Chain A
Amino acid sequence: MWLTMPLLHRPKWKVVGEGLVEWLIRICGVSAVIFVFAIFFFVFWEAKGILFGEDRLDLWKFLTSEEWYPASESNPRYGASALIAGTASVTVLSMLIAVPFGLGAALFISEFCGPRLKEVLKITIELLAAIPSVVWGFIGITIMNQLVMRIFGAPIGLTVLNGAIILALMSVPIIVSIGEDALKAVPDSYREAAIGLGVTRWQMLYRVLLPAAKNGLLAAVLLGVGRAIGETMAVLMCTGHAVNNPFNTTFPFLHPLDSVRTLPATIAAELGETAQGSQHYQVLFVIGLLLFTITFVVNMTADLVVKGIKGK
């Protein structure tokens, strides 16, 4: 009896209060879903005229044509494929730089360095993550620009390579800190059990640690990719802002010293210049939908891949 008594005599305000708090946090939780749908809906609403209206956009042309002349008086053309190629080129190249770098740094911090150095490195990397993207863009324009021109002899330094390096520097902190968390989450007993079997540190790392942490490491990489695709300001400033497809059919298939323009950069640069509701304005929102779809697909793939690994 003495155990149930206090429960029976709970004051009314407590019962009501707890119910209230439960509803409050429920709303907080559901709000994320509402916001995502609301954003998608409004972007779609702004774009719907050109998608379904009288003078509708030819979607096939939009996705395949490289002709982006939205401001032409006589014959405006909206071909986004060069912009898509620009986004893809910068993202891919930046990930080629950032993923090995980031995962290597995560491994070093988690497994090889001493406790003192570890603290210093973690704080520094967090600092790196806190630099605003416009500052990165500034670094790209002033320092990387000069470096790219001098080292590669390019006529202009605002290129795919420049943007990719800056983007890599921006994604590395994310990859490092999430990758390090993933490695830290592997129980020490795994390490000791493997070491106790008499294998070397590298064998332990390769055969036990990496398989055990692969989900987290994959998440780290994909978050880095997400950052790279969506980044606007730094890329806008660093890549030269020229509508151009840097890919071609002959080796090495990608010209890192070409200037390009990305999807987010196009929206940022042009939206302020258009009349609200105009054709150009609506096409920019179609680009927004496209970006939305790309990030959605990346996230879905990540989810499925992680689930696939878990289910195995």
Chain B
Amino acid sequence: MVAQPSKLNVDSLTVWYGDKQVLNGISFDIKPNEIFSVIGPAQSGKTTLLRVINRTIDFTPNARVRGLVEVDGEDVAHVKDIYGFRRRIGMVAPLPVGLPLSIYDNVAFAPRSFGLSKREELDELVERCLTQAALWDEVKDRLNTLGTKLSGGQQQRLTIARALSHQPEILCLDEFSIAIDPVTTMKIEDVLKELRQDMTIILVTNLIQQARRLADRTMFLLNGDLIEVDDTEKMFSGVARNPKTNAFVAGTFG
């Protein structure tokens, strides 16, 4: 394979919460504009991995991190401007967190805090992000209501719009479709396929079929161990190297 610089490089990443080890020295890399899915049962360390990447793990007092995580070759643990760095990573949490602001302000929150203040530019950005998150048509007439007043599925899409609002290079989606109906999920999946031209996407999902539909490559985590990472097709067609992978995607295990 031709050596292509990786967007994200993870080497021997180990994470503990107190005495409990939740990631056991995993190594992988993600290429630019790739859609990379992470699958695995609960407690396998998927969310922790994302929290290490955008350094929100800093807010868990008893968490310890060893190993190397690089974005564009820059060590995440030692970035100088942590706020600027987090802007490069979009994060969509599994449980929708509508901030206690209006719908408009939820999306405009990040851009405003970076200094974007022109009303027309903000309007345009908000509309674009909400459209991409398949939410615009439902909320365009009530942009001033509180984001927390939306239904669970709408809040989830609001968080996607918010994550897009600061135009990240890497978009991390942590089980984004948990609270969304299948039709809307498909709409957003289509959007993700378009977005990959501009960004790298990490998709943590419990829906095996979703990973199969979208991802170029897939990684299977189990209890903090990296079981296997390979092209999605290989992972899901029953010819994976590790029998555990085959069992998991077939639904007979995990």
Contact = CB atoms under 8 A, between A and B. Distances in A.
Contacts of A207: 101, 109, 113
Nearest to A200: B83
Given A115-B61, A192-B56, A192-B59, A197 B162 contact: yes
Contacts of A198: 83-89, 110, 113-114, 166
Contacts of B83: 198-200
B97 A197 contact: no
A195 B54 CA distance: 9
A193 interface: yes
B93 A195 contact: no
A196 interface: yes
A249 interface: no
Nearest to A115: B61
Nearest to B59: A192
B95 interface: yes
Interface residues on B, range: 20 to 34
Given A196-B54, A208-B101, A211-B101, A189 B59 contact: no
B99 interface: yes
Interface in A160-203: 187-200, 203
A97 B54 CA distance: 40
A190 B101 CA distance: 11
Interface string B70-109: 0000000000000111111101010101011100000001
B125 to A, nearest CB: 14
A197 B101 contact: no
B159 interface: yes
Interface string A47-87: 00000000000000000000000000000000000000000
Interface in A137-155: none
A184 to B, nearest CB: 14
B113 A200 contact: yes
Contact of B100 (A192, A200, A203, A211): A211
Given A196-B91, A198-B110, A199-B110, A191 B101 contact: no
A203 B56 CA distance: 16
Contacts of A208: 99-101, 109
Given A207-B101, A208-B101, A197 B166 contact: yes
Contacts of A197: 86-87, 91, 109-110, 113, 162-163, 165-166
A192 B93 contact: yes
Nearest to B87: A198
Interface string B96-134: 010111000000011001100000000000000000000
A212 B54 CA distance: 24
A188 B58 CA distance: 13
B134 to A, nearest CB: 20
B97 A193 contact: yes
Interface string B197-210: 00000000000000
Contact of B113 (A188, A190, A193, A199): A199
Contact of B97 (A189, A199, A203): A189
Nearest to B165: A197
A191 B109 contact: no
A190 B100 contact: yes
Contacts of B99: 190, 193-194, 208, 212
A299 B89 CA distance: 46
A310 to B, nearest CB: 11
A118 B150 CA distance: 36
Contacts of A190: 97, 99-100
B175 to A, nearest CB: 14
Contacts of B93: 189, 192-193, 196
Contacts of B56: 192, 195-196
Contacts of A203: 113
Contacts of B166: 197-198
Given A115-B61, A208-B101, A189 B86 contact: no
Given A198-B86, A198-B113, 20 more contacts: A189-B97, A191-B59, A192-B97, A193-B97, A193-B162, A195-B86, A196-B54, A196-B86, A196-B93, A197-B109, A197-B110, A197-B162, A198-B87, A198-B88, A198-B110, A199-B110, A199-B113, A207-B109, A211-B101, A212-B99
29 contacts: A187-B97, A188-B59, A189-B93, A191-B59, A192-B59, A193-B91, A193-B97, A193-B99, A193-B159, A196-B56, A196-B89, A196-B91, A197-B86, A197-B91, A197-B166, A198-B85, A198-B88, A198-B89, A198-B113, A198-B166, A199-B83, A199-B109, A199-B110, A203-B113, A207-B101, A207-B113, A208-B99, A208-B100, A208-B101
Interface of B: 54, 56, 59, 61, 83-89, 91, 93, 95, 97, 99-101, 109-110, 113-114, 159, 162-163, 165-166
A-B complex: 4 closest residue pairs judged by Cβ atoms: A198-B87, A198-B86, A197-B110, A196-B91
